[in-house]
Structure 1
Amino acid sequence: MSVVDLVVTGIGVVSPWGCEPAKLRLDGEPATGAEESWFDLTAELGARGYKYVPPAARYLLAAARRALADAGPVLAGVPEVRRGLALGTNSGIASVIDAMDETVNGPGADLLSPARAPYFSINTLAGRVAMEHGVKGWNLTLTSPRTAGLEALLAGTRAVRAGRSDLLLAGSAEAPLPVHAPGHERSEAGAAVLVLEPRATAVARGAAGYGACRTVAFFLPPHEAASTAAARTVTAAVARLLGEPAVLPAVIHLVTDPSPVGTALAARLQQLGARLDVVPAGAGTLQPVLHLVHGLARPGTVRLVVTASPDGACAMTLLQPDQPADQKRDFA
């Protein structure tokens, strides 16, 4: 596997927190966006062709369009078979599946909508974007609780470095959980997509990037989260990400909850000298990715975005902006 220096050249966001990456309002409790009043379907995708597309797919399509527009004419130089896509989601189709179950258990499967039926599979969210933008190299959907959005960056970067593609779209998409589902009150809605390409390619086409991202993922067994072994796991993950001696960034966003895993992870990072901005987690994968794109779009400060789920999944992404705060992005 060759070492390819990837840079983020495009960011697209649609969310109830805002749609401009540098101006996202991420303070306080996660917004649900359940009424979808914040999303203008016609403005984002057009008046036709998306009536029966589920909300998460609409959000993802809109964010991908925004990200590719932001990146400039990047697709023109990359054959379709050299494009890849990695998506993280937890509740992207939860309401769709819930409605299908209600139909099957009630009036019967014959009344399932032919237009909605394909979305029984979580992979169709990424597949819909792949069809629209000619992503024919590979596409992958990850569903690890809470961490899947950051893991999409990790998996996608590995695929590019392994030679499977020359362009990566990566991000997260969520839709509100059914009202009766556990965690509905913490539902997330929206999508965030990043365009990543080799730095040499971006320079050759005259694109100014936002910066680089590096991600590590690890697991803390919930029943042993406070153990010495778990502490060593966190320390080793920090060392893999930052090198040794590890110097933690001044800005660290920890998206988590008061579960044993989240509490133990916060304690260990503080023992390593971290000053944490602890962010209440939503029910899905979107919140960490929104903090990631918000950090990249506000250049000048190295940041660390960390997240953990009660199940033990953990991930950290280091953001290294390319530009000083007063430099304007532009394309040749």
Structure 2
Amino acid sequence: MSDRHVAVSGLGLVTPAGDSPRTVWETLCAGRSLAARDPALAGLPVDFSCQVSGFDATAELGVRMSRRLDRFAHLGLAAARRAVSDAGLTPGGWSAERVGVVLGVSSNSLQTYEQEFSRLGEGRPAAVSPLALPRSIPSLLAGEVAIDLGARGPNFVTTSACASSMTAIGVARDLIRAGTCDIVITGGSESPRAPMNAACFTQMKALSREHSCPESASRPFDVDRDGLVLGEGAAVLVLEATEHARARGARVRALVRGYGASADAYHPIAPHPGGRGAEQALRGALVDAGCTPADVDHVSAHGTGTQLGDAVEADVLHRVFGTPPVVTAAKSIVGHAMGAAGAIATALTVLAMEHQAVFPTANLTRQEAGRELDIPTGRPRDAALTTAVVNAFGFGGQNAVVVLTTP
């Protein structure tokens, strides 16, 4: 590995908070949850989510492509196009074999499988769509982005549960540092708003059941938190060797300086109660970045709103930092986009560093004694941000952390 820096030269967003950096930032700064009743989940015990509204896949991608791809691919492909445009790159005008695609997706598209399994269960195998498999498997997201943009470098999807897209960013960074690629299109996409997903998470008692007021359901780090809120969305970053970006006059939005990953090796669902793996990944990312805990100005927490997960993360932050820097929890506003959550949080942290401000966390009224964190509420807080940490933790005890710095 070389020690050359890796730049974020482009951002593409399709989220419940909007689909442009400006709109997303303004929505975040309002500090209100975007959870609402979800027609796709009508009749279920938990019938709300954070949804991407106003997105027209046909207008974005054309009739044929919108019909043959599932929603997670619609969102991811649109975000990839936005990121490449934001980076000032033109597909076809680059060395295609030096451009990779590494994206994170945590699961298959259950929307399609629900439909196709029902046909099979009705004894109608001939009615099963021949497109069911290629439109649904996670790896096709990376393949479709490469086809659309003409990127012929390494191409694959990482899947590490809710850490999937953070894993993708770390691997993409390493491909550039290793000299394999000059540019990697990375991030993730997910649309878990399927009845089967919601039913499974409900049975696991992982979802908030704040039925009377969905907007107050996602409450990371609040003493009365009772579970996560499903979200959807995509965030794609263009990572580029810094010297490559500057040689073509590109804007460098941030630097990816450190990456750490680990396994709890403890339980398929619950985090290690002592935060062993999360702490290992966080400390590893800081070492990789050449930073000390005192260098960090901001933490974008995993912060799902589950009782155990938030408690463990707060304990880890106190152990690593002593007095933790200012913290935010994006899932309080945009929900939990599962495999895409890490990339969304990373993109939002880049925006925070550009604006030199931390957006507020929604629905936080009272924190647990002994686990208090410095979390802005109600309005954004101006802050001098030069170094930030972004956490992502997933089922299976899979942990990934990225350290970002200003250019």
TM-score, normalised to structure 2's length?
0.71
1:296 to 324, 337, 350: 350
* Superposition RMSD in Å: 2.8
Structure 2 portions without partners, runs of 5+: 41-50, 208-228, 357-384
Provide the secondary structure at the position in 2 that maps to 1:118: coil
- Quick one: structure 1 residues 117 and 31, their matched pair in 2 at CA, closer, same or farther if it must change by over 3 Å? same
Q: Percent identity?
A: 26
Contact 2:108 2:137 in 1 (8 A): no
Query: What is the aligned partner in structure 1 of residue 212 from structure 2?
Result: none
1:64 to 70, 80, 98: 80
Determine whether 1:215 maps to 2:259. Answer: yes
CA distance in 2 between counterparts of 1:177 and 1:4 reads 40
Contact 1:171 1:193 in 2 (8 A): yes
Q: Tell me by how many angstroms 1:285 deviates.
A: 2.3
Query: What is the aligned partner in structure 2 of residue 151 from structure 1?
Result: 167
CA offsets per residue over residues 281-328 of structure 1, 9 Å max, x none? Answer: 615122332221122134142322112235322221122132xxxxxx
CA distance in 1 between counterparts of 2:240 and 2:182 reads 7
Provide the secondary structure at the position in 1 that maps to 2:338: coil
Provide the secondary structure at the position in 2 that maps to 1:156: helix
Query: What is the aligned partner in structure 2 of residue 18 from structure 1?
Result: 18
Contact 1:248 1:274 in 2 (8 A): no
CA distance in 1 between counterparts of 2:274 and 2:390 reads 23
Contact 2:259 2:289 in 1 (8 A): no
Query: What is the aligned partner in structure 2 of residue 326 from structure 1?
Result: none
Query: What is the aligned partner in structure 2 of residue 266 from structure 1?
Result: 314
Provide the secondary structure at the position in 1 that maps to 2:141: helix
Contact 1:85 1:135 in 2 (8 A): yes
Query: What is the aligned partner in structure 2 of residue 325 from structure 1?
Result: none
Query: What is the aligned partner in structure 2 of residue 96 from structure 1?
Result: 112
Query: Which residues of 2 match residues 273-292 of structure 1 at below 5 A?
Result: 273-275=323-325, 276-280=327-331, 282=336, 284-292=338-346
Query: What is the aligned partner in structure 2 of residue 195 from structure 1?
Result: 238
CA distance in 2 between counterparts of 1:49 and 1:9 reads 27
Contact 1:249 1:304 in 2 (8 A): yes
1:39 to 52, 55, 60: 55
State the AA in 2 paired with 1:183: F
Contact 1:176 1:188 in 2 (8 A): yes
CA offsets per residue over residues 208-249 of structure 1, 9 Å max, x none? Answer: 110112321122244682449658635642542453643252
Contact 1:83 1:135 in 2 (8 A): yes
CA distance in 2 between counterparts of 1:64 and 1:114 reads 26
Determine whether 1:233 maps to 2:280. Answer: yes
Determine whether 1:131 maps to 2:147. Answer: yes
Q: Tell me by how many angstroms 1:70 deviates.
A: 0.7
- Quick one: structure 1 residues 28 and 178, their matched pair in 2 at CA, closer, same or farther if it must change by over 3 Å? same
- The range that moved more, 15-24 or 134-143, is 15-24
For these two proteins, the number of residue pairs brought into alignment is 322
Determine whether 1:205 maps to 2:231. Answer: no
Contact 1:122 1:141 in 2 (8 A): yes
- Quick one: structure 1 residues 196 and 235, their matched pair in 2 at CA, closer, same or farther if it must change by over 3 Å? closer
TM-score, normalised to structure 1's length?
0.85
Provide the secondary structure at the position in 2 that maps to 1:151: helix
